[in-house]
Amino acid sequence: MAKVAVLGYGTVGSGVVEVLEKNAEAIKLKAGQEVEVKSVLDLRDFEGDPIQEKIVHDIDLIVNDPEIDVVVEVMGGVDVPFKFVSKCLEAGKSVCTSNKALVEAKGPQLLALAKEKNVNFQFEASVGGGIPIIRPLNTSLTADKILKVTGIMNGTTNFILTKMSNEGASYEEVLKEAQELGYAERNPEADVKGHDACRKIAILTSLYSGKTVKYGNITCEGITEVSNEDFAYAKELGCVIKLLASSYEKDGKIYAITAPFMIDKNHPLYNVNGVLNGIYVNGNMVGDLMFFGSGAGKLPTAAAVCADVVDCVRNLDRTLPVFWSEEELELGKTDDEVRAFFVRVKGTDINKAKEAFNDEINVVRVKGIDNEFAFFTEKMTEKEFNEAAAKLDVISRIRIDDTVLN
């Protein structure tokens, strides 16, 4: 029997215990032996809860327990989990985590340590919740050159944007609902400011490039500036606004960005709504791929962590290869990226907008929104856009993503 310890009995941690119990038979079959939770590390006691008898408060009780083969880290944060995960790997235990902050900040070091100790460090649930995306990139797509990844990778913000778009709900109201449903990070700023999605594209880009992409080097804008008026225009135009986390290769450089984008009905992510995530991948041989499913939430995320546990139990005596070196990847500059933009401008001086951009701009107006006009630009670099936009009184601008399935 393989014994597991869980660090953190929060939403995902309790989900991991539930999945391992509920699906014990199926997991035994797939893992080749029974898998049982022996210890759960948490600061709390959970008096009266059946988990109480497994609760420990000292990480060393887990680190020094020779029966424990696999440790699940679902605490959140970076510094303490890094210390605990390092200790566990040092002690010859495999570790599975859903903690993208830890994976983004320390992934290559922890992978190197796991390799040195002949164990595994797995992190499928760190991107896309229950959607398999790490394993496909690590295994199924190794013969492909990945040209583009673009995805809706944050359930909380997609839940908020979908409700604002479909129901006209207020931002605060929907954020509260997402938190109650267990989708949001402990600090929802990480969700709404785009940092969570940005970490996820940093992880995916690191995995397909084999080098380290730091999320702090990626242009990152959240959803806090997206307004009901922006949604009204999008609706009028048959478009939706989504927080996309993307990276792609162009002329030998990789560019990455996380920001709200306007997309039309031909875009593969147009119908990805609510807490669902969708990730589009394009490989030079395989072409288009779509990964779609629950991007957040207790059981989908826990199931992805438990699949890692099964993989670790199946491979207790060898390290599965993951290509992610500590060498930092120099990203292309956002200023050089080429795309079209949707712009809202104060006032009625359309000629000034034509002078700043060009004569062909298509002006859009929405009934009930006065003293402003909006238009799409042609494709141009971000630098050219910023220079032209600086000549106008811009209310908001939203980038356009025109990915289509081929």
172 to 231, contacts with ligand HSE by CB under 6 A? 183-185, 191, 196
| Shorter beta-carbon distance to ligand HSE: residue 2 or 137 | 137
Nearest-approach distance from CB 184 to ligand HSE, in angstroms: 5
101 touches ligand HSE by CB under 6 A: no
| Shorter beta-carbon distance to ligand HSE: residue 185 or 401 | 185
273, 162 in Cβ contact below 8 A?
Answer: yes
**Residues 134, 126: Cα–Cα separation, whole Å:** 8
Per-residue H/E/C for 36-65: EEEEEECCCCCCCCHHHHHEECCHHHHHCC
| Shorter beta-carbon distance to ligand HSE: residue 157 or 377 | 157
**Of 46-54, 140-148, 152-160, 376-384: span binding ligand HSE (CB under 6 A):** 152-160
**Of 137-145, 153-161, 254-262, 377-385: span binding ligand HSE (CB under 6 A):** 153-161
| Shorter beta-carbon distance to ligand HSE: residue 126 or 282 | 126
In the set 132, 155, 268, 283, which binds ligand HSE (CB under 6 A)? Answer: 155
| Shorter beta-carbon distance to ligand HSE: residue 114 or 152 | 152
| Shorter beta-carbon distance to ligand HSE: residue 33 or 179 | 179
Nearest to 31 by CA among 285, 225, 268, 308: 308
Overall residue count recorded for the chain in this entry: 406
Show Cβ contacts of residue 218 under 8 Å, excluding neighbours closer than 6 positions.
198, 201, 202, 256, 257, 258, 331
Nearest-approach distance from CB 208 to ligand HSE, in angstroms: 19
11 touches ligand HSE by CB under 6 A: no
Nearest to 270 by CA among 292, 298, 301: 292
**Residues 250, 158: Cα–Cα separation, whole Å:** 28
In the set 97, 122, 150, 154, which binds ligand HSE (CB under 6 A)? Answer: 154
Site string for ligand HSE, 275-314 (x = CB under 6 A): --------------------xx------------------
Show Cβ contacts of residue 277 under 8 Å, excluding neighbours closer than 6 positions.
128, 129, 131, 151, 152, 153, 154, 155, 158, 292, 293, 294, 295, 296
327, 212 in Cβ contact below 8 A?
Answer: yes
**Of 24-32, 150-158, 164-172, 225-233: span binding ligand HSE (CB under 6 A):** 150-158
3-state helix, strand, coil in the chain (%, to 5): 40, 25, 35
Nearest-approach distance from CB 294 to ligand HSE, in angstroms: 9
- Please list the active-site residues: 200
Site string for ligand HSE, 110-149 (x = CB under 6 A): -------------------x--------------------
CA distances from 254 to 211, 267, 309, 332 (A): 11, 21, 32, 6
Residue nearest to ligand HSE (CB): 156
| Shorter beta-carbon distance to ligand HSE: residue 308 or 382 | 308
**Of 75-83, 151-159, 280-288, 381-389: span binding ligand HSE (CB under 6 A):** 151-159
Nearest to 158 by CA among 234, 298, 301, 260: 260
Q: Report DSSP letters for 335-381, one per residue.
A: GG-EE-EEEEEESS-HHHHHHHS-TT-EEE--TT--SEEEEE--SEE
Q: Which amino acid is it at 262?
A: M
- Interaction site with ligand HSE (CB under 6 A): 129, 154-156, 183-185, 191, 196, 295-296
